[in-house]
Chains A and B, each alone.
Chain A
Amino acid sequence: MRITRRDFLKYCTISAGALGLSTTALMKLEEALAKEGQPKVTWLQGQACGGCVTSVLNSITYTDIAKLLTAEPVTSGTIGKGIDLNYMPVVMAAVGDLAIDAATNTANAPTVLVIEGSIPAEKVTATTTSYEDNGYCDVWDPNNGSAKSMLDAVRDRIVFSTASPDVSYPLFVIALGTCAAYGGIPAAKPNPTGARSVTDILTDTMWLASAYKNQTGNTLTTSEQRTLLRNMKKKIINIAGCPPHPDWFVGTVAYILTYGERPRVDSLYRPVEYYGQRLCDECPRFSNPIGCLKMVGCKGMRTKADCSWRYWNKESDGTYDSTTGNYCPNSGSPCLGCVTPYFWDRNAPFFKLR
């Protein structure tokens, strides 16, 4: 039997772990997670719809990794593995002040900060002021204090290093979903609430310089400011998608935990592992006489994502089979290009029918 490139790719994906990790990496991952001190994760939701977390909850197919990452309850007396998810509004048991304490406790400074949803903020003048909250999204309101906006909640999670122009915590910022990564639907024209991406907020140089001084007392020179900005940029990973595929998120977290560094990303901070190829490259409808949807508005040609061979909602991790798993163009619906910045405007209208 002749093995095509596509077959080979599928084979690699399935056997060596659908998340792009080798067996050695998996062992390394297990080792890393078994170590004392679980990586702390804080998960903030801004202008989000909950689709990203609903999608990520579907990630449990790949049982071993999922067990590690989701801290699945262990029946024996062994120390629980997995991440320490100290603040995550959709799943955490704590509510109200108790939940706020979990997020604001300095002992819980996150190793990985996950942000879902865009952040509403405005600048008074584009170049000389930093972003300011405009009142469209509050994340919590303690009994003995005042309401906290999403913008401030994100900024407060950033801990600067006193020794050098660098960020101590978090080590990684994952912008989950297109809203967090590029603004998404709230930022669609004419962006009524001033929705911004995580990158916009965290690489706001005016804020970086003043916040660094406020926290550490040191004033930065211009070149040091550049260093700080560069270091901040190194922490950002955009897992775009509306919603993102659970593998993209789980695989990225697994990579971070295994190697302790950011996976290779493209210029839009998306891991190339998952966003490295055009949708059409593996699309079963491509150059298929009955199939290609380009004429009804499919944006696969300019969309870089691996949906076309990864497939969505696959029920078995072993077999590649179009009856278990599906993706938009395979179901007959054109690709919207949902991993692309500003796709709501650039790619609309989604249908090109009369």
Chain B
Amino acid sequence: MALKIDPITRLEGHWGIEVDISGTSVVTANIKGTMFRGFEIILPGRNPRDATFITQRICGVCPTTHGMASCRCVENTFGIDDEVRSLGNARNLRNLIEGADLVMSHITHFYHLAAADFINFSGTILDQSGTVMSPWGPQYTDSNMVGGATANGLIEHYVSALEIRRKVHAAGALFSGKQPIQAASVVGGITKGNPETITNQKIETFRNLMNQARNFINTVYIPDVVFVATSFTGFWNVGTGCKNYLAYGAFDLDANGTKLLKTGVLIGGISGSLDNSSTDQAILASRIREGIMYSKYVDDTYGGSNVLKSPFDGVTDPYPNAPNTKYSWVKAPRYISSGGATTVCEVGPLARMLVTYKSDATEALSQLGAETNAIITSATYTIKGMIDTVINAISNVATFPGALMSVLGRHAARALECKAIADAMVGTATYGSITSWLDQLNLFGEQYYSHQIPRTTRSGYGLTEAPRGALGHWMKISRGKISHYQCVVPTTWNGSPKWGSTTGAAEQAVMDTPVGSTTAEQVLNIIRTIHSFDFCGACAMHLNTPNGKIKVVLDPDGKVVKTEVEK
């Protein structure tokens, strides 16, 4: 039986899914991205420094990470990335701005995007004499859902989460100018604020706002995830997917580029191992490919439907009225493993937590109010220790070791990561050596590295982690202008269509989801799996080259005479 769910709401962008259901299981799943903007034609010919501002408009939910990836990409291209990273203030301010965005995004995702999959609003405070007020009603419901007075607590947290996410945004804006879409992180570092970027007053305001968020995460967010998990224990075994996890790593801790969230590709799930040399960003960046076999782009200009291309060479020719086999605007990214295998990968908080776990990370974090948190009891902890605690905690409700690789596992990993990053931002141990990023800020330190735009032809990449997963930008410059720019974003990985014999990450997860027999059950179970990935369509249908090649005509000084599309 065929079923279409389009639009899939409560995620960013335009997504639909078509599934074929046999009995209570999904036989095939096609996830469709249904919107296209064509950023890549807008970028060539522009000043490389402007890329930071333009690429942030790819996605309004995680613009900050696009800005950071773009800054790193341009700095790598200019050959100044090591210099910028060695400026302590630039490094830590970027961590704080990026961290605030991540914490905001995770809280928004659980309460405002995903929670309605688990709550039956009928009989709650939103129910007015039989009619649930919009936009929370009408809704599909099933018997698993939390409803009535029990759900009122969650609904009240929906409102308090709005306040907390706003406060985290405000904290980020103290250093970044405004949120969403930050202004202060530019190529070369962080701009100088009026009168100063870093003042004691701002540091204290930031700490105050973030401590409110940490308190919320410990006492509300994590307990709510546990509450949902205990009401939906079956979902520890639902939506497993491809079991390959890719993370570019993020949050530089020192000038050498040691990261809090580690780099690597985990093949074969929690009992598997990290792929050879994948922990090196430069090698990882060179192993990324994209294909268009089932994507709405013309095969001929790409060099054939069975070709995988590096983002440095990506050519795309959109095909709005393509035949039905080409069903999505999203390209299919694949990782080429050290053994040469074309690998589908999942990205996101779960991927980051598992890769960090497998990397035996030893960085200690300090938490706020250890006694109020049931998950971790000590004042300091490591990410590896935190994951071990969770694995032990769920071992009696679900079958270990697969349990973390599930719908609930993704929500749990997101909540734990939210806690870890918030603690790394402002958590300082009273006794011991943990100094948070905020406390490492130096009132008199440098935060900007002066540089010039090179006139030579160069190329570079910038990798980071968006709230939704691994984000990479690749670019080439020529005569001081952008000549090529390409992004491979988190939801391109998770929302990938098929390519060759491989099926996209979320599509595999949907096929691992038992869906039930009524339409409401089928719709709900499918969107629970999709929402656990935290899709973002604005990102995924981003920047492919429309209508063939972009032709940038430059005069001898490198000034752009015209930019045109060759049809």
Contact = CB atoms under 8 A, between A and B. Distances in A.
Interface stretch (B174-182, B259-267, B431-439): B174-182
A190 B321 CA distance: 21
B321 A135 contact: yes
Interface residues on B, range: 35 or more
A310 to B, nearest CB: 11
B273 interface: no
Nearest to A99: B9
B210 to A, nearest CB: 12
A95 B159 contact: no
A259 interface: no
B159 A325 contact: no
Contact of A291 (B35, B169, B180, B194): B194
A291 B196 CA distance: 10
Contacts of A333: 177, 183-184, 186, 191
Nearest to B58: A49
Interface in B169-211: 169-170, 172-181, 183-184, 186, 190-195, 197, 199, 201-202, 205, 209
A100 interface: yes
Given A93-B136, A141-B34, A193-B37, A49 B42 contact: no
A344 B42 contact: yes
Interface in B502-542: 523, 527, 536, 538
Given A51-B181, A96-B4, A284 B10 contact: no
Nearest to B42: A188
Q: Give the contact-size bracket for chain A.
A: 35 or more
A331 B176 contact: yes
Contact of B538 (A50, A72, A140): A50
A85 interface: yes
B127 to A, nearest CB: 10
A63 to B, nearest CB: 9
Given A71-B133, A99-B9, A141-B6, A94 B169 contact: no
Interface stretch (A9-17, A52-60, A230-238): A52-60
A264 interface: no
Contacts of B390: none
B12 A90 contact: yes
A51 B135 contact: no
A21 to B, nearest CB: 21
B135 A91 contact: yes
A78 to B, nearest CB: 9
A285 to B, nearest CB: 5
Interface string A100-141: 111000000000000000000000000000000011111111
Interface string B126-137: 101000011111
Nearest to B7: A140
A163 interface: no
B314 interface: no
B227 interface: no
A347 to B, nearest CB: 10
B173 A192 contact: no
Interface string B264-276: 0000000000000
Given A185-B37, A192-B37, A315-B166, 18 more contacts: A49-B12, A51-B63, A55-B60, A73-B125, A79-B128, A92-B10, A92-B134, A141-B6, A190-B565, A193-B546, A313-B169, A325-B170, A331-B183, A332-B184, A348-B46, A349-B49, A353-B49, A354-B453
- Top-10 shortest CB links A-B: A51-B60, A135-B320, A332-B191, A331-B177, A192-B38, A313-B173, A333-B183, A312-B178, A141-B6, A349-B47
6 contacts: A51-B57, A55-B60, A85-B134, A94-B135, A193-B37, A333-B183
